[in-house]
Structure 1
Amino acid sequence: MRVAAYDVGLSRSGPGLLLFDLRARKPPADIAAVLAVIRETRPDILLLTGFDQDFRGVALTALRARLAAGAGGIDYPFAYAPPGNAGVESGFDLDGDGRLRGAGDALGWGRFPGQGGMALLSRLPVDAEASHDFSGLPWADLPGARLPIRPHGAPVLDPEARSGWPLASNALWDVAVTLPGGRRLRLLASNPTPPLFDGPEQFNLLRNADEIRFWRLYLDGAAFPDSVGRMARLDGPFVLLGDLNTDPVAGAGDRAAIAALLAHPALRDPNPPRATARAGERALRLDYALPARELDAPDAAVFWPEPGEPLAELVAAGPAHRLVWVDLRFPDP
């Protein structure tokens, strides 16, 4: 079974625009590239990040229809995509520009609700009742939370904002997928804010690091309340997925946070061969598919064809990120 994460970069400047492009007779180059990559790699479970959500999931339905159409199509009959925090109005002037309702004032950066959101597609049944959405967990409630402080010592989040400001800039999910024979696989999915575009308070860097640290605590057995008030803790084998937006050895971000997650004894890092940037420099590793140590994971890779290989030009015209996958092998039930 193949499990993959792909930051598809399918985000537009306004609501409804992605749906318009997905329904076009000839889709734009970025959509064509995404469709080709998914059809070529054929994941059984796929986490999409950087995908504009809408209230009724119409854009996601349109994407699934395009993936399934024609020769070589792939069908994803199951999905998990509750609303996240991107673009949701907070009611606070977080960016200090004297105005409310800006992209920088949302609970997670976004010009409209759902911009650059997340969705999980699956060829296996998703057990929504056994899944957990931690997207509403207040940042301040994370043990050891490092909340940002302004240079003069005042907190960025005043007491009113602090009480409800979520840890997740987008979403934090523990999604249960039912395997043949009735066993479950947990998909631990997130897309922390990029640790960029900061002032001296380092709001995004600290939030990114704590979003990553949430998973370390969860792997350690910590319990957290989900969106319906259930105290939930990790139960069963898992794959941790997502664009975590931090590389352990280069680039912006708290490298110690991601390095500590990769070194956690509960998971294994397949460390698939890293494609190098075309200029010859090492590419940043931001996207991850990390299985539980107990799982048999015979293969993993980043899909990044070299120049001249099939799909290379199409992929180059698509999103900046590349799909990363891990293959799992389960004994017969």
Structure 2
Amino acid sequence: MNRTTRFALAAAMALAAAGSPAPADAVETVELRFATFNASLFGDRPQALAERLKTRTDEQLKLVAATIQAVRPDVLLINEFDYDPSGKAVEDFLFNYLMRSQHGHNAIRYRYQYTGPVNTGLDSGRDLDRDGQTGGPGDAWGFGRFPGQYGMVVLSRYPIDPARVRSFRKFRWADMPGALLPTLADGESWYDERTLRTFPLSSKAHWDIRIWTRAGNIHFLVSHPTPPVFDGDEDRNGRRNHDEIRLWADYVSTDPGRNGYIYDDDGGTGGLGDGELFVIAGDLNADPNDGDSHPGAIQQLLSHPRIQATPTPASSGGEESAHRLGGANLVQNGDPAHDTAVFGGNSGNMRVDYVLPSQGLNVLRSGVFWPMSSEPDAALLDASDHRLVWVDVSAEVLPLRDPLPRRGLGR
């Protein structure tokens, strides 16, 4: 059996697992759970995470895996998972942790995965943060101590065709019309012209990943914009965060004049076609009510006519945490039930992680995995300072014509 045949059989099995044929007079639907989780799986040097993943005893990895097993997403984005070009790190996470019961939760298997290079830790050769030195993490195209730190991974129970993934990692910030490029107090550009000829918009990466389901393609649009902090009055990180979020807002616009400027790493241009289904996911590092985001950053998505921003995922544990920790949480404007991360100090808890389905998908349920302190799974919260966010959607099953990618699966 050749590679293509093996893939076709595996993909057909995954599609069939969504349900059996319905009566001719019934409308059959498929349900899927999409999720995002900033799992804080990053090391302080290259291969540090890969080395931890070779064992089966790392407690943080067990907690991360148990969290995923408890929620059981069909399609999951993991932020802050160091990139390993060999793919071995992802395989070890699957085999050594997810496919083994953790903290009383059943093992889970993801047949399909996608990961790729990111901009974090890639040395620019320039003094981007203007501290008088070059070569530090602040002078990388995305903040990082080594290439691939804070990377991204997508896991799926449904087929992914890696040959059709659109990556926008190399899209230049200056090529966005009306980009919020930072300036000094006198109006001079923070970055010189030579730097802007190379400077990428994406601090990690932006990927459009097609998930093959019985309802057709669902585009999983994933990213991890830079935090809007750790800068000065020029607000270079806040402005970049705003425009990283804007890229998806423009990409899913039905107006070709709004997204015609976008190009991917292979030279393809334009945005997502009208009528295409999608889910935007990631740690977007922007709270709609609190924090230091550039004005209107996340509202570009929450108020987008093509996006279903409600119902807002919520938890009881988030409310409990805000009351228990107090401090900044007591003066915030946002509903603590919607928080997704614990930052402490002067920041408090915030909503920064999102799963946003498109119009055309029926939103069934949603939530933030944040158990109350009295619940058994509360111990899993030590995995990360972020919480896993999930949304259940359904869509009408399409006639089975040619749903399978024509080229083989990647890792």
TM-score, normalised to structure 2's length?
0.77
Q: Are positions 1:273 and 2:314 aligned together? A: yes
What's 2:333 paired with?
Answer: none
Paired letter, 2:220: L
Pick one of 304, 320, 335 that aligns with 1:264: 304
CA RMSD of aligned residues (A): 1.5
Q: Which residue of 2 aligns with 1:204?
A: 237
Give the Cα separation in 2 of the matches to 1:110 and 1:277: 33
User: Which one of the candidate residues 79, 84, 90 is aligned to 2:124?
Assistant: 90
Tell me if the contact between 1:246 and 1:255 (Cα under 8 Å) persists in the aligned partners.
no
Unaligned runs of 5+ in 2: 1-31, 324-328, 330-335, 337-348, 399-411
Which deviates the most, 109-118 or 52-61? 52-61
Q: 1: CA distance between counterparts of 2:99 and 2:223?
A: 25
Secondary structure at the residue paired with 2:359? coil
Tell me if the contact between 1:54 and 1:113 (Cα under 8 Å) persists in the aligned partners.
Answer: no
Structure 1 match to 2:25: none
Residue in structure 1 matched with residue 72 of structure 2 by the alignment: 42
Which residue identity does 2:314 align to in structure 1? P
Show the counterpart of 1:32: 62
Q: Distance in 1 between matches of 2:263 and 2:383?
A: 38
Distance 1:232 1:122, change over 3 A: farther
Determine whether 1:301 maps to 2:367: yes
What is the CA distance between 1:74 and its match in structure 2? 1.1
- Choose from 151, 154, 170 the match for 1:117: 151
Question: Match of 2:76, SS?
Answer: strand
Unaligned segments of structure 1, at least 5 residues = none
Distance 1:273 1:112, change over 3 A: same
What is the CA–CA distance in structure 1 between the aligned matches of 2:395 and 2:153, rounded to whole Å? 25
Cα distance in 1 for residues equivalent to 2:122 and 2:307: 33
Judging changes above 3 Å, is the alpha-carbon distance between structure 1 residues 49 and 87 closer, same or farther for their aligned structure 2 residues? same
Deviations 1:170-204 (A, max 9, x none): 111111111126x1000111110000101121110
Separation in 2, partners of 1:154, 1:331:
53
- Per the alignment, residue 40 of structure 2 pairs with 9
- Contact 1:248-1:258 at 8 Å conserved across structures: yes
Query: Could you say which residue in structure 1 is the equivalent of 2:227?
Result: 194
How do residues 248-263 of structure 1 correspond to structure 2 at under 5 angstroms? 248-263=288-303
**What residue in structure 2 maps to residue 58 of structure 1?**
88
Q: Secondary structure at the match of 2:144?
A: coil
Aligned equivalents of 1:108 and 1:69: distance in 2?
34
1:82 Cα offset (Å): 1.5
- Structure number, greater radius of gyration: 2
| Alpha-carbon contact 1:51-1:117 (below 8 Å) kept | yes
1:89 offset after TM fit, Å? 1.1
Return the structure number with greater helix share: 2
Alignment match, 1:325? 390
Aligned residue for 2:355, secondary structure, equals strand
Write out per-residue CA displacement over residues 75-96 of structure 1, whole angstroms, 9 at most, x where no aligned residue.
1121121201111111111122
Give the equivalent residue in structure 1 for 2:378.
312
Match of 1:18 in 2: 49
Query: Given the two structures, how large is their TM-score scaled by the length of structure 1?
Result: 0.95
Write the distance in 2 (CA, Å) between the matches of 1:277 and 1:247: 19
Any idea what SS the aligned residue of 2:214 has? coil
Number of aligned residue pairs: give it: 330
**1:314 Cα shift?**
2.5
Distance 2:37 2:56 in 1: 24
**Structure 1 range deviating more: 228-237 or 133-142:** 228-237
Deviation at 1:58, TM superposition (A): 2.1
**Alignment of 1:247 onto 2:277:** no
Q: 1:134 aligns with which of 152, 155, 168?
A: 168
Which has the larger displacement, 124-133 or 237-246?
Answer: 124-133
Structure 1 window deviating more from structure 2 (100-109 vs 90-99): it is 90-99
1:134-175 alpha-carbon deviations (Å, 9 max, x no partner): 111000011210111122332121111101100001111111
Confirm or deny: 8 A CA contact 2:50 2:84 kept in the other structure. no
Partner of 1:291: 357
Secondary structure (helix, strand or coil) at the match of 2:197 reads: helix
Match of 1:237 in 2: 277
Q: Distance in 2 between matches of 1:133 and 1:106?
A: 19
Q: Deviations over 1:198-225 (max 9, x none)?
A: 1121110000011111111112141321
Superimposed CA distance per residue, residues 243-263 of structure 1 (whole angstroms, 9 cap, x where no aligned partner) = 000100011112412123201
Matched, 1:225 2:263: yes
Task: Answer yes or no: is the 8 Å Cα contact 1:249–1:255 preserved in 2.
Answer: no
The 1-side partners of 2:192 and 2:208 are apart by 30
